[in-house]
Amino acid sequence: MAYIKEKTIAGRKYFYVTKSVRLPDGKVKTLQKLVKDRHVSPKAFAGWFEEEEKKAFCDWAVKAYPADG
């Protein structure tokens, strides 16, 4: 489930849509995307989160399994 998170950096407020994903090795990967408006729906970023999850799982698989050689 994605949610809006507020961060204060150098005195300025920034809003991020955030989602956490658990990888097969048990580690948690947090995916964040900066948004311009706090009132945007996190559901609007479902496609982006899906792509980033795929990348995270692929990166995990590349590190976890040795290459044939």
pLDDT of residue 69: 62
Q: What pTM does this model have?
A: 0.79
Is residue 19 one of the residues assigned to a domain? yes
pLDDT at 37 (0 to 100): 83
- What is the reported pLDDT for 7? 94
Tell me, what's the pLDDT at 39?
A: 87
- 4 Cβ partners below 8 Å, 6+ apart? 15, 16, 17, 18, 35, 38, 40, 42
User: Which domain does 18 fall in, by range?
Assistant: 3-64
Please report whether residue 34 resides in a domain: yes
Return all residues near 50 (Cβ < 8 A) that are at least 6 apart.
none
Residue 69 domain flag:
no
8 A C-beta contact, residue 15 and residue 29: no
Residues in the chain with pLDDT < 50? none
Length of the chain: 69
Q: Is residue 35 part of a domain?
A: yes
- In the chain, the number of structural domains is 1
What pLDDT sits at residue 40? 86
Give the pLDDT confidence score for residue 53 in this predicted structure.
Answer: 95
